[in-house]
Structure 1
Amino acid sequence: MILYVHIPFCHRICPYCSFYKHTPGNTDLRAFIAAITDEAQWQRQSLEQHKATLGTITSLYLGGGTPSMLSPRHLDLLFGGLNEAFDLSQTHITLEANPATFNHSKAKRFKELGVTRTSLGIQSFSPHVLQTLGREHSPQQARESVHILRDAGMEEINIDLMFSVPGQSEEDWQHSLDTAIGLEPDHISAYNLTYEEDTEFIQRLTHGEFRDDEATNAEYYSLADRSLSDAGFLHYETSNYAQPGKESQHNRSYWLGHDYLGLGPSAVSTIQGRRWQNLPDTARYIQNITSVGHAMADSETIDEEAYRIERIALLLRTREGVPVKYLQHSPAGSVQELLDNRLAEIDNHHLRLIHEGPMLVDPIAAKLI
């Protein structure tokens, strides 16, 4: 089983982000940390009572929001509580971080607490692109953050980059790729900007101020693929590139359909075919944990068909592809059409996208479902 902890706090709200997040405001951070650790204890006991097998927690991912903005004291309390609830002695731990939120001493504390991988939300090394995205760090801070983590002994570093940002030129995108490669991270995620509901960016797109151009998306995607592949990174998922053996263990568990437990406001869990989401409201989350021990809200059953559909949508994005057993009920002729058009191949009982296929993964998945 894998574990996710959602820390919803950000110093500044990025205009493209649709995840549940907010500034700390008047939130009692000590009470919030206590709620997370209390929920961890409640969920562990609940799972044991329902005969669910916790097994080894193979991966813990702290996401957000900005987990790295928590103070060392709050991080100590958080990790202390999580270690009391679960055995994390053999767990691969990833912490999402903003380059503007930590220094040398704090990075060393990450390492001392057991963090083995830090994912840096850099997005760009061009000042005007960072400004468009509402990021609070500078290109220099971004570069320095990688060196700080290396000096602290961090085992693995990921850099998040984003392309097709309004006002971002091809030269801007190449500069970000080249700079990231030069910093020698273990992993690079190259995401196509998507316009999500309830964000400032979707409003500006709707009003015609921004434009989502498929040709530009494809061009920048291809540029990333060439640059990162030539630099020795393995393109193992549509948006993810890794040095050999440095793939994201946590994300691979999601793609493969492993059970996962989510803690914190808005966090999602899926265990033994049951999926639920916590309240997407930090104040109510803390209140519910204090009063009843959990904050579970929406719940659904993931039946065999729903599981099959998710495997197609997620595994089709991977280098290995989707096992053909999940395609037995796909529309007649849909698989053969992909093979005939050289968009996919069957290799070792998996349907794998090739050539232009990976750039069309979403519409292809829709046809196979």
Structure 2
Amino acid sequence: MVRAVIQHLYVHIPFCHRICPYCSFYKHQHGSTDMAGFVEAVLTEARREQAARAHELDLHTVYLGGGTPTALSETHLERLLTGLGEIHDLSRVAEYTSEVNPRTITAAKAAMMRRCGVTRISLGIQAWDEPTLKTLGRDHAPADAEETYQLLRGAGFDSVSLDLMFSIPGQSLEAWRGTLERTVALEPNHISAYNLNYEEDTEFFQRLRKGQYREDEGRDAEFFYLALDVLEAGGYQHYEISNYARPGYRSAHNESYWMGEEYLGLGPSAYSTAGGQRWQNIPDTARYMELSLAGLPTAQPGEELTEDRRRTERFGLELRTLRGLPQDLVLPDQRRMLQTLAEEGLLNVEKGHIILTRQGKPLVDSIAVALMG
């Protein structure tokens, strides 16, 4: 394995008070988990990675995801945050993000997070109308979400992102417009608007297979364009298919993923990519804790990231961005396809990069496949 310089750290905290029926990330209710032991297991893994020096850590971003990081108590979360700061040099970290769900944070917990160095919050709103929240299995009301948003602002978080979802079963365009307009009115720095995907091993996927739910690309495009129009009119730059930001507030951590940069993942199920390899920690919290606290490796066997694999991933990720995909990645025998897609008004080639047009953006996945050949 080639020794790499890693600038990005991800920490996975898998606990949720309630399991949402659409979510495919590794998560579970905390049940009888020893939460203090979990925190120590993550910090032990961090120490082991630091001591091994297999790669150089020069951290610029940190991201706490899940699950719900703020499902940890104030005491346990503070121990995690302070421990990470003791183990790793965070002096060059410019963006320190934590995901938050409504009803999982207090003013005291928010103040502690800010004091411990967290600079950015990604708040899981999803929708502002009760019927859609109920379909999504969310356990908060719209009033809870707005209260949490104001609490975070009051705690001094100058960078707050709101996460939304569209094409939810039963969701109308009018309800989606209402969610968008209420979101813009709050003036968050960043907004993520995700098209619902039916992922395997979720309740929604099972309902799709039974015919209770259905996919509709035309409907998806209507919702997508409504988001694009409302959010751009509200002063947000559409810099990635699902992400919009005010100037200076793009997600640096997520941009590192889209650009294929190296990152280290801590916690059960967390992925890491470094030195031409990708590996995943065991997706079993109890087993992860057992291994980590015993000083043993928590990673499953990894895979080599071949040039072909990296090229495929670049098509799938960079084509989604405002910067676009370098034109030279398109092989000669696919240049005719590139020209055809340009003639159809789905993309432009600017300064050596393939950039999707308004018409092409909803078709990003199929365009990527067509260009890869």
Pairwise TM-score range, normalised by the shorter structure: over 0.9
Residue in 2 aligned with 1:71?
73
Indicate yes or no: 2:44 matched with 1:38. Answer: yes
Letter of the 1:84 partner, please give it.
E
Partner of 1:346: 349
Q: What does the per-residue CA deviation read over 1:259-295, in whole Å, with 9 as the maximum and x for residues that have no partner?
A: 0000000000000111000000000000111224321
Cα distance in 2 between the residues matched to 1:85 and 1:107: 22
Return the letter of the residue paired with 1:258.
E
Partner residue, 2:61 = 59
Q: Does 1:29 align with 2:35?
A: yes
| Match in the other structure for 2:325 | 322
My pick for the range that moved more, 84-93 or 32-41, is: 84-93
Residue type at the aligned position of 1:311: R
Of the candidates 138, 141, 152, which is equivalent to residue 149 of structure 1?
Answer: 152
Contact 1:313-1:362 within 8 A present in 2 as well: yes
Q: 2:128 aligns with which of 114, 125, 128?
A: 125
Which residue pairs with 2:274 in the alignment?
271
User: Partners in 1 of 2:254 and 2:359 — Cα distance?
Assistant: 24
Unaligned runs of 5+ in 2: 1-6
Q: CA deviation at 1:330?
A: 6.3
| Equivalent of residue 210 in structure 1, options 205, 209, 213 | 213
TM-score if structure 1 supplies the norm length?
A: 0.97
Matched letter for residue 124 of structure 1: A
Q: Does 1:309 align with 2:315?
A: no
Q: How does 1:211-230 map to 2 (within 5 A)?
A: 211-230=214-233
| C-alpha deviation, 1:105, in angstroms | 1.6
Q: CA deviation at 1:328?
A: 3.3
Residue 368, structure 1, aligned to residue 371, structure 2: yes
Cα displacement (A) at 1:332:
4.5
Q: Give the distance between the partners of 2:279 and 2:332, measured in 1 at CA.
A: 27
SS at match of 1:100: coil
Equivalence for 2:337: 334
Query: What does 1:92-171 align with in structure 2 at a 5 Å threshold?
Result: 92-171=95-174
In structure 1, give the amino acid aligned to 2:75. Answer: R
Displacement after TM superposition at 1:331 (Å): 2.9
Q: Give the 3-state SS of the residue equivalent to 1:266 in structure 2.
A: coil
The answer to whether the Cα contact below 8 Å between 2:78 and 2:113 also exists between their aligned partners in 1 is no
Structure 1 stretch displaced more, 188-197 or 306-315: 306-315
1: CA distance between counterparts of 2:201 and 2:333?
33
The alpha carbon displacement at 1:122 in A equals 0.6
Relative to structure 1, the CA distance from residue 208 to residue 163 in structure 2 (aligned partners, 3 Å threshold; closer, same or farther) is: same
Query: For residue 3 of structure 2, what is the aligned residue in structure 1?
Result: none
Q: Say if 1:330 and 1:368, in contact at 8 Å, map to a contact too.
A: no
TM superposition shift of 1:80: 1.9
In structure 2, what is the Cα distance between the partners aligned to 1:164 and 1:130? 13
RMSD: 1.1
- The answer (yes or no) to whether the contact 1:43–1:294 under 8 Å persists in 2 is no
Map of 1:293 onto structure 2: 296
Answer whether contact 2:70 2:99 (CA < 8 A) is retained: yes
User: Is the CA contact 1:9–1:67 (under 8 Å) kept in the aligned structure 2?
Assistant: yes
8 Å Cα contact 1:323/1:350 also seen in 2:
yes
Residue 319 of structure 1 aligns to which amino acid in structure 2? L
> What is the CA-CA distance between 1:309 and the residue it aligns to?
1.4
CA pair 330-60 structure 1, distance change in 2 beyond 3 A: farther
Letter of the 1:85 counterpart: I
Identity of aligned residues (%): 48
Tell me which amino acid in the other structure corresponds to 1:251. N
1:243 alignment partner in structure 2: 246
Q: What do the CA deviations read for 1:135-186 (whole angstroms, capped 9, x no partner)? A: 1111001111111111110020000000010111111101100111011000
Segment of structure 1 superposing worse, 319-328 or 94-103: 319-328
Q: Is residue 198 of structure 1 aligned with residue 201 of structure 2?
A: yes
Contact 2:11 2:267 in 1 (8 A): yes
Aligned residues: 365
